[in-house]
Amino acid sequence: MKKILLILLLLLLSGCYDYNELNELGIVSTMFIDYKDEEFVTTLEILNTNESSKEVSYMFNGSGKTIESSINNCFSNAFLIPYFSHMYTVIISEEVAKDKLENLYDYFTRDVDYRKDFYILISNDINEIIKYEPKNKLSIGENIKKIIENSENKNAKYIVNNYREILDNYLNNNNYVLGSIQIDNDNLTLSDNFLISNNKLELKLDEKAVLFMNVLNNYSSTFQIDSKDSFDIYEYKADTKVDKNKIEVSLAGNARILNLNSEKTKIDVNINNIEKELETYVKDYFYKCLEYAKNLNKDIYNFNFLYYKYYPNSVDEDTWKTIDYDINVDLKINEKGLIFDSVGEEAYEN
């Protein structure tokens, strides 16, 4: 009897904490945050879950002194309960990126309703994206998520960090990159990468530096090198070793020939030579990326933080500039393409 009473008390006194009927939820797909006239203007894209309506999503907007108050104003007249656990992306204006990033992180870190795996992107024209009507039956947020996922798999030209990664850099006072999105030819596309330093938007990064950053952190599973020829580098591993006076960056992996220029397509071409040329090219490419950072006078690859991990007492602000770098590249071309096998000697002789 006591046991039954205990169970009943436990269940009945606790009530239905956190109970929500599914149809009453406003599932937020994307959050747009702008800063105008000393107020945050927030627009939320809510997914449409009503079968009878053809709209994919609805937009609700509100403004306020804080992000929280602007979001509350979005829902003040709505019949739905905001639900943020399925939010894919947060798109912020350049104004927010320049000056209000700390407010943004403060809000997302304090609120437990948010998952930490949504992406943050910058847009130079946030209203244009809000008004964008996708050509498929997906919401803006779902479209952006698909673009990011495709970009991660196919090339290393863009860096789109999710909130967890950003928070990690933010808490370690590291420099980090925020990607941006724009509408190009009536299509949503990823565009420039911006360097964020001291939680402020600093500058637009060169594509080559972004690629090096992606490779250095092993973010991308594959990346493409376009010298005179085109190669795809895959199954690679980049490693960074820190010595007292030297930082050693090594890259080892496999390469696939995508396209050779006309002189090399002959059958007697020596693959070892191509391999050596590729290694030299990648090595030079990486040295140029290091030079690029030195010219900017920004530790965009966070070598100082890396050095600090090993030699906390020896690091100073310019360590990353003064230290020597040694880059080793070991790539094996193991997929030559069909040209050497199927289009054989006879094909050229004829």
Partner 1 sequence: MVNFMNSSVQYIKDFYKDNPDFILRKIDVNWKDKVYVLFFESLCDSGSIYNFVLKNLYDTNNFSKKIFHIERVLSGPKLVKVESEEKIFYYLENGFCVVIFKKEIWALEVKANIDRGITDSQTEPNMYGPKDAFCENYQKNLGLIKRRVKSKNLICDSVDVGEYTKTKISLIYIKDKVSNKTINKIKNNLNKHRFKDVVDSFDISKNIESNKVFPTIFKTEKPAIVSQFLLKGYAVLLIDNTPFVLILDAKLKDFINPSTTDKFVIILRYLCFILTVLTPAIYIALINFNQEAIPTSLLINFSEQRSGVPFPAIIEAFIMLFVCEILRETDIRFPSSYGSSASILGALILGDAAVNAGIVSPIMIIIIAITFITNLIFTEIKLVWAIRIMRVTFLITSSLLGLYGLSLAIILCLIELANVKVYEGSYI
Return the number of other C-beta atoms located less than 10 Å from residue 166's C-beta: 23
CA distance 305 to 199: 16
Least separation in angstroms between residue 12's CB and partner 1 is 8
Q: Is 10 in the site for partner 1 (CB under 8 A)?
A: yes
CA distances from 130 to 92, 99, 223, 250 (A): 11, 22, 32, 43
The contact pattern for partner 1, residues 286-315, with x = CB under 8 A and - = no contact, is ------------------------------
Least separation in angstroms between residue 29's CB and partner 1 is 8
Least separation in angstroms between residue 141's CB and partner 1 is 9
**According to CB under 8 A, which residues from 112 to 141 bind partner 1?**
115
Task: Give the chain's count of helices (H) and strands (E).
Answer: 12, 13
Beta pairing partners, 237:
252
Contact indicator for 245, 314 with CB cutoff of 8 Å:
no
Q: Indicate the angle between helix axes 67-75 and 101-110, nearest 10 degrees.
A: 60
Least separation in angstroms between residue 293's CB and partner 1 is 38
Only segment of 44-52, 174-182, 304-312, 328-336 that touches partner 1 (CB under 8 A): 44-52
**According to CB under 8 A, which residues from 139 to 178 bind partner 1?**
142
What b/e string do you get for 85-94 counting C-beta neighbours within 10 Å, with b at 16 or more? Answer: eebbbbbbbb
Contact indicator for 311, 244 with CB cutoff of 8 Å:
yes
Only segment of 15-23, 69-77, 297-305, 328-336 that touches partner 1 (CB under 8 A): 15-23
Only segment of 18-26, 119-127, 169-177, 276-284 that touches partner 1 (CB under 8 A): 18-26
**According to CB under 8 A, which residues from 77 to 96 bind partner 1?**
83, 85-86, 88
Residue of the chain from 37, 52, 198, 313 that contacts partner 1 (CB under 8 A) = 52
3-state secondary structure of 164: helix
How many chain residues touch partner 1 (CB under 8 A)? Answer: 28
Only segment of 20-28, 189-197, 205-213, 319-327 that touches partner 1 (CB under 8 A): 20-28
**Cα dihedral 260, 264, 267, 268 sign:** negative
Contact indicator for 117, 175 with CB cutoff of 8 Å:
no
Least separation in angstroms between residue 10's CB and partner 1 is 7
Residue of the chain from 1, 2, 5, 15 that contacts partner 1 (CB under 8 A) = 15
Return the number of other C-beta atoms located less than 10 Å from residue 102's C-beta: 12
Only segment of 47-55, 202-210, 290-298, 316-324 that touches partner 1 (CB under 8 A): 47-55
CA distance 137 to 114: 25
Residues lying near partner 1 in the complex (CB under 8 A): 7, 10-12, 14-23, 25, 27, 29, 47, 49-52, 83, 85-86, 88, 115, 142
